[in-house]
Amino acid sequence: MNKKIYIAGHRGMVGSSIWRALEAKGYANLIGRTSAELDLKNQNAVVDFFQTEKPEVVIDAAARVGGIMANSSFPYQFLMENMQIQNNLIDSAFHSDVQKFIFLGSSCIYPKFAPQPLKEEYLLTAPLEPTNEWYAIAKITGVKACESIRKQYGKDYISLMPTNLYGPYDNFDLNTSHVLPAMIRKFHEAKEKNEAIGVSEPVELWGSGNPMREFLYVEDLADAVVFALENEFHDNLYNVGTGVDLTIRELAQLIQRTVGHTGEILWDVDKPDGTPRKLMDVSKMENAGWKAKVGLEEGIAKTYQWFLEHQGTFKEVKI
């Protein structure tokens, strides 16, 4: 409980949730740095930080993230900045003799047309989804860096690959957000515009609504990270999810009901759908002893409540 644990990205949705989960369990020696205090893209700064602070455990929840629009608009930044961040953290941790490193990635590391559900062994078996391959390639290099250290030096470096995440402190910026928080904001704002007359404005959404997606409440991921911290895993890569998915159209209808929007949903089929399906096989994690607890309907209700309580600040919340 007194080990010095460094959480990279501790102000973001994922990192802050991990911080709260560890504090709740009594971990008393947590450290974090804002991007203004420590630029994780700066190798020398990261090396100096590790030499000064000497963390015993590192949890890497730092990344440049975003949806299809952000990935398509900034491919170089999504590739290079994510590699810089994770490479600096992994290499500095290795040279500082950090024995436990938990690297967080994404289900987008798996091939676009991989068999469903996605098993860990499908990594690097076929081409990626073009709309987010830059981010995916960066994360794959992080997985392989941790795997190589584990294989060559026997250190407890593991990678957890969560499915699509959502929850408190999500990013609701429509230019950079993922599908679920973007929908919450769109339906809410369309409802608010004509609330006086009781008729919600239509909401336009990207694609056909046919792709299927799996969603994990961020506090469940935080719980999985705590589990990984407190247990020894026998492999290097584990999927983290619910093992249950639904269509984007069904997701939209669920969020629409939660928000109370009564208008029409318009689908812009000229916009890309992304990967047809990304359902995670979570049997390895369940066999290790961990399982998700929060259902999607409950999680969306909690997230919408957080959104309502933080409307004055959510635009500034970035991961």
Active-site residues: which are they? 135
CB contact at 8 A, 43 and 20: no
Helices (H), 60-127: 68-73, 75-95
Cβ proximity of 163 and 242 under 8 Å: yes
Query: Binding site: what residues are annotated?
Result: 9-15, 104-107, 139, 162-165, 178, 186, 206, 213, 273
User: Is 59 in contact with 225 (CB distance < 8 Å)?
Assistant: yes
How far is residue 84 CA from its own chain's centroid?
Answer: 18
- Take residue 72 and report the two structure tokens written for it: 């398509």
| Token pair 């073009």: residue | 130
Determine the Cα angle at 98 with ends 94 and 101, to 5°. Answer: 85
DSSP string of 176-199, one letter each residue? T--HHHHHHHHHHHHHHHTGGGT-
Q: What is the 3-state secondary structure (H, E, C) of 262-316?
A: CCCEEEECCCCCCCCECCECCHHHHHHCCCCCCCHHHHHHHHHHHHHHCCCCHHH
Task: Please enumerate, by residue number, every residue annotated as part of a binding site for substrate.
Answer: 186, 206, 213, 273
Using CA atoms, how far residue 308 sits from 171, 188, 302, in Å, is 14, 9, 10
Instruction: Determine how many CB atoms are found less than 10 A away from the CB of residue 54.
Output: 12
Is 107 in contact with 239 (CB distance < 8 Å)?
Answer: yes
Which residues sit in the known binding site for NADP(+)? 9-15, 104-107, 139, 162-165, 178
Cβ burial, residue 223 (10 Å; 0-12/13-18/19+)? buried
